[in-house]
Amino acid sequence: MHRTPPGSSPEDLGQQTLFDWEDAAPAPPPGGGFRDGPQARRMLDVRQVYAEPAALASPRGRQILARLPGVPVTEVPGHWRIPSLHGNDGSVARWTRVKTETLVLGVKQTLTTRPNGRSADWIAPGASNGCAMACAYCYVPRRKGYANPITLFTNIEAIVAHVRRHVQAQGPKREPNQCDPQAWVYDIGENGDCSVDALVCDNTADLVAAFRRLPTAKASFATKFVNPDLLAMDPQGRTRVRFSVMPATDSRLLDIRTSPVADRIAAAADFLDAGYEVHFNLSPVVLRPGWQQDWADLLVHLDDVLPGRVKEQAAAEIIMLTHNQQLHEVNLGWHPRAEDLLWQPGAQEVKRSENGALNVRYARQVKSDALARLRELIAAHAPWLRIRYAF
Ligand code: SF4
């Protein structure tokens, strides 16, 4: 069913507030923000919305649709399986079109926070699932298939309230750990990219605003997209952005539709000055002939361009590539050159996961040798870069 939902005009929305004023997302800058410009539209140019009725009726759902005038809306019973949308049928041309032009609005039913202990202390319930980008190694599409556009969860008030309760229940962090010496760290972007979500929705801004008022906790998310609108969100040190980096030659082949790595690095100082903590994800590390030289060059580049104030607070996660047999087979159909890098049976071992999927990762010795070498390269070229964890 196609329809334009009632109550989604800007006037209607002016009557509604999701939060009290202290939590509110910042008003867009006069003349529109980055999200209204041509670069943002190349990433996301929504022409079709699929939505659960409850999402359509929610204030956040109506706010999103008010920014998409004239875009047809198809009601769906659930955001999880939309036969005409999800799955692996179709060429990459269709996948990237789906990712660019389609948005799904849903209500997140189960709100749980899971312990993590590596990248973050906790994984918060994400405010989205799916991504407009199309990294060849991405694990996010594993359940919906590659044509997995952004699903935004419109019950953001419930998500924020859940996280707030969870933070309060922990009390202060008593033991420093590698996640953070003082704050409980909550990953808010496990299944998507918060910077891209912010092109169409204030969920990211609302989460940043919520953590501003949680002095014992910190939000954290990884990103491969530079969205300057995030600079106006005033995180006051309570949100950590982790720019993912890898050698540009790998990124051009593997990180489809993302911001160039050099742009992510160049943005670090602006994000720090805007009140974010800025870390880096060295990930995924892909082993191939020449990887050591290219990672050394990347580390030299980081050392050359980052100002001292970024280096002083920076830390990094190192994540070696893991892959998946099913994803390998899908990728062979649209991007076989990526598989020349990602699929290295001679160096990888297979492990069946709890859900039966065949995952591959570098064999134990290969991985530990590579990690040792990468640590040496960091010590030689970017000794200021503290490694939070490597795995
Ligand atoms: S940016 Fe992240 S979530 Fe998006 S496709 Fe790449 S790895 Fe997946």
DSSP bridge pairs for 316: 280, 387
CB contact at 8 A, 217 and 254: no
> 180 CB under 6 A from ligand 1?
no
The CATH classification of domain 10-390, taken from the options 3.10.20.600, 3.80.30.30, 1.10.40.30, 3.30.700.30: 3.80.30.30
- pLDDT tens-digit readout, 109-134: 999 999 999 999 999 999 999 999 99
Residue ranges of domains in the chain: 10-390
63 CB burial (10 A radius; 0-12, 13-18, 19+): buried
Q: Is the pLDDT of residue 150 over 50?
A: yes
Residue nearest to atom 7 of ligand 1 (CA): 138
- 263 Cα: distance to centroid of ligand 1 (angstroms): 17
- Residue among 43, 128, 131, 324 to mutate when testing ligand 1 (max atoms within 8 A of CB): 131
Cα separation of 251 and 243, whole Å? 13
- 171 Cα: distance to centroid of ligand 1 (angstroms): 32
> 192 CB under 6 A from ligand 1?
yes
- Residue among 143, 193, 324, 327 to mutate when testing ligand 1 (max atoms within 8 A of CB): 193
Residues in contact with 83: Cβ distance below 8 Å, sequence separation at least 6, in sequence order:
none
* Closest atom of ligand 1 relative to the 225 alpha carbon: 1
Cα separation of 142 and 133, whole Å? 14
> 140 CB under 6 A from ligand 1?
yes
- 271 Cα: distance to centroid of ligand 1 (angstroms): 20
CB contact at 8 A, 230 and 241: yes
Cα separation of 83 and 126, whole Å? 23
High-pLDDT (> 70) share of the chain, %: 92
> 134 CB under 6 A from ligand 1?
yes
- Residue among 128, 133, 281, 283 to mutate when testing ligand 1 (max atoms within 8 A of CB): 133
Among the listed residues 73, 80, 63, the one whose alpha carbon sits nearest the alpha carbon of residue 25: 63
- 223 Cα: distance to centroid of ligand 1 (angstroms): 8
Number of Cβ within 10 Å of residue 196's Cβ equals 29
Cα separation of 91 and 384, whole Å? 44
Q: Is the pLDDT of residue 29 over 90?
A: no
pLDDT at 355: 75
Mean pLDDT along residues 34-63 = 96
- Of the CA atoms within 13 Å of residue 133, those in its CB half-sphere come to 28
Residue nearest to atom 3 of ligand 1 (CA): 192
Number of Cβ within 10 Å of residue 231's Cβ equals 19
Q: Is the pLDDT of residue 301 over 60?
A: yes
- 227 Cα: distance to centroid of ligand 1 (angstroms): 15
- 132 Cα: distance to centroid of ligand 1 (angstroms): 8
pLDDT at 30: 52
> 138 CB under 6 A from ligand 1?
yes
> 142 CB under 6 A from ligand 1?
no
> 229 CB under 6 A from ligand 1?
no
Q: Among 14-18, 70-74, 328-332, which range has the highest average pLDDT? A: 70-74
Among the listed residues 330, 278, 336, 327, the one whose alpha carbon sits nearest the alpha carbon of residue 307: 278
Q: What is the mean pLDDT of the chain?
A: 91
The band of 333, judged by pLDDT with boundaries at 50, 70 and 90, is confident
- pLDDT tens-digit readout, 176-197: 999 999 999 999 999 999 999 9
Per-residue HEC secondary structure of the chain comes to CECCCCCCCHHHHHCCCCCCHHHCCCCCCCCCCHHHCHHHHHHCCCCEEEECHHHHHCHHHHHHHHCCCCCCEEECCCCCCCCCCCCCCCCHHHHHHHHHHEEEEECCCCCCCEECCCCCCEECCCCEECCCCEECCCCHHHCCCCCCCEEEECCHHHHHHHHHHHHHHHCCCCCCCCCCCCCEEEECCCCCCHHHHCCCCCHHHHHHHHHHCCCCEEEEEEECCCCHHHHHCCCCCCEEEEEEECCHHHHHHHEECCCCHHHHHHHHHHHHHCCCEEEEEEEEECCCCCHHHHHHHHHHHHHHHCCHHHHHHCEEEEEECEEEHHHHHHHHHHCHHHHHHHCCCCCEEEEECCCCCEEEEECHHHHHHHHHHHHHHHHHHCCCCEEEEEC
In this structure, of 260-269, 345-354, 364-373, the range with the lowest mean pLDDT score is 345-354
Backbone angles phi, psi at 80, to 5 degrees: -80, -45
pLDDT at 16: 39
